Structure 1
Amino acid sequence: MSLSADLFWSFRSPYSYLAIGRYRALMASHDVTINLRPVYPLAVRQPDFFERNHPNWLSYTMRDMIRVAQFHGIPFGPPRPDPIVQNVMTREIAAEQPYIYRLTRLGQAASRRGKSLAFCDEVAQLIWGGAQDWHLGDHLAGAAKRAGLDLAELDAEAQSDAETLDQEIAANQVALEIAGHWGVPTLVFEGEPFFGQDRIEMAKWRMEQKGLRPR
């Protein structure tokens, strides 16, 4: 019997990027369906989050995400541009956000088609893998095509059905909190949350207890 899990995920989270490829590989190699459910990042949900953190938080996080990428051999480069427009010095989140709403709605539109894991992985590889100007040219169109999707179709839906997509994205956040967590990446399997890119092996271990088998 095929198993199923939900992966709550954000385009702005470097740890989401560092996890998604390994979860995609797990789904490819084992009899499990992982449904990626995108949420808006803290920068959208709690704009003052970064201003309230300890001064060392940002520098430590940057150091840690780089070494995690190196440890796992995952290509990693600073996002150019960042999906969230933010003043790095003051940590202030800009009022205008030209990227994150489009990206997250595209991810939810892909989720409606059962292809959000592939789509978000392909896009994350552009954003966090070092692609310059990932938002321009045919970068996103190529990512969508590799995921078996059409970017023009997704974009049209993201614009025409933005309100409903945002309701679905909000429902994803509620589902995450009901499952017992609030951050990303979090995999929820049979009601049990596994938060962080360092819980993938533990999530797999739990699935194996429930009958997970190689394909």
Structure 2
Amino acid sequence: MGLAADLFWSFRSPYSYLATRRYRALSESHDLEISLRPVYPLAIRQPDFFERNHPNWLRYTVADVMRLSAYLGIPFAPPRPDPIVQDIATRRIAQDQPHIFRLTRIGQAAARRGRGLAFADEASRLIWGGTPGWNEGDHLAGAAARAGLDFGELEAEAASDAGALDAEIAANQIALEAAGHWGVPTLVFEGEPFFGQDRIDLALWRMRQRGLAART
């Protein structure tokens, strides 16, 4: 029997984006099942987070993500539109959020089908990889198809079963905190959290200690 891990993840997190294709590749090359567990970003859970943080936090984060993407050879561009509607000058989060709830519910619907990681990878490549208007036309439908999913089915479920999906997303957040962390991306393997896109090699080391084997 293969190994299993949970990946706590957000559509608004550029670090989640930088980790996703690498975790997906790991699950495809090794006898490992990674279950995506989407959570709402800090902008939803703690709307004043950005106002409370140090003024240099946002500038450094942008510079760091740009540097990491170049180092890893992963395309990166500021999302158009941002999954979170926010006034960057004041850091205030808008009351109306037309993207993040829809996206996260669709991501959870994909996770219900065991294809959450694949969908997160394909969708985040659009959002953070430089596709303008990723929320329009058939962009997300194409991402779903590449992940082996029917987008119409996912979107209908996100609308009709929003309450249950939100409960599952809230349970994901509780599980993340119970595992010992609060941020994303965090891989949890056998109760041990590995936070950040820079902890993939460390997680792989631990899983190899537990007998992780390459797929044949």
Q: Same fold (TM over 0.5)?
A: yes
Q: Matched residue of 2:163: which SS?
A: helix
Distance 1:181 1:58 in 2: 21
Distance 2:65 2:75 in 1: 11
Quote how far apart the aligned CAs of 1:189 are.
0.1
Quote how far apart the aligned CAs of 1:194 are.
0.2
Q: Matched residue of 1:22: which SS?
A: helix
Q: Which residue number in structure 1 is paired with residue 36 of structure 2?
A: 36
Identity %, equivalent residues: 73
Q: Which residue number in structure 1 is paired with residue 183 of structure 2?
A: 183
1:192-212 Cα distance to aligned partner (Å, 9 max, x none): 000000000000000000000
Quote how far apart the aligned CAs of 1:92 are.
0.2
Give ranges in structure 2 of 5+ residues lacking alignment: none
1:100-142 Cα distance to aligned partner (Å, 9 max, x none): 0000000000010000000011000000000010000010000
Quote how far apart the aligned CAs of 1:99 are.
0.1
Q: Which residue number in structure 2 is paired with residue 61 of structure 1?
A: 61
Q: Matched residue of 1:137: which SS?
A: coil
Distance 2:136 2:44 in 1: 23
Distance 1:117 1:70 in 2: 23
Distance 2:89 2:61 in 1: 15
Measured on the aligned residues, the alpha-carbon RMSD in Å equals 0.4
Distance 1:78 1:48 in 2: 22
Q: Please identify runs of 4+ aligned residues in structure 1 that moved more than 4 A.
A: none
1:137 partner letter: G
Distance 1:92 1:189 in 2: 35
Quote how far apart the aligned CAs of 1:183 are.
0.3
Aligned length: 215
Q: Which residue number in structure 1 is paired with residue 199 of structure 2?
A: 199
Distance 2:203 2:161 in 1: 34
Give ranges in structure 1 of 5+ residues lacking alignment: none
Q: Does 1:72 align with 2:72?
A: yes
1:133-161 Cα distance to aligned partner (Å, 9 max, x none): 00000100000000010111001000000
Q: Matched residue of 2:6: which SS?
A: strand
Distance 2:27 2:120 in 1: 14
Distance 1:28 1:67 in 2: 27
Q: Matched residue of 1:12: which SS?
A: coil
Quote how far apart the aligned CAs of 1:78 are.
0.8
Quote how far apart the aligned CAs of 1:165 are.
0.3
Distance 1:57 1:29 in 2: 36
Q: Which residue number in structure 2 is paired with residue 21 of structure 1?
A: 21
Distance 1:86 1:137 in 2: 23
| TM-score, structure 2 as length reference | 0.99
- Report matched runs for 1:115-154 at 5 Å: 115-154=115-154
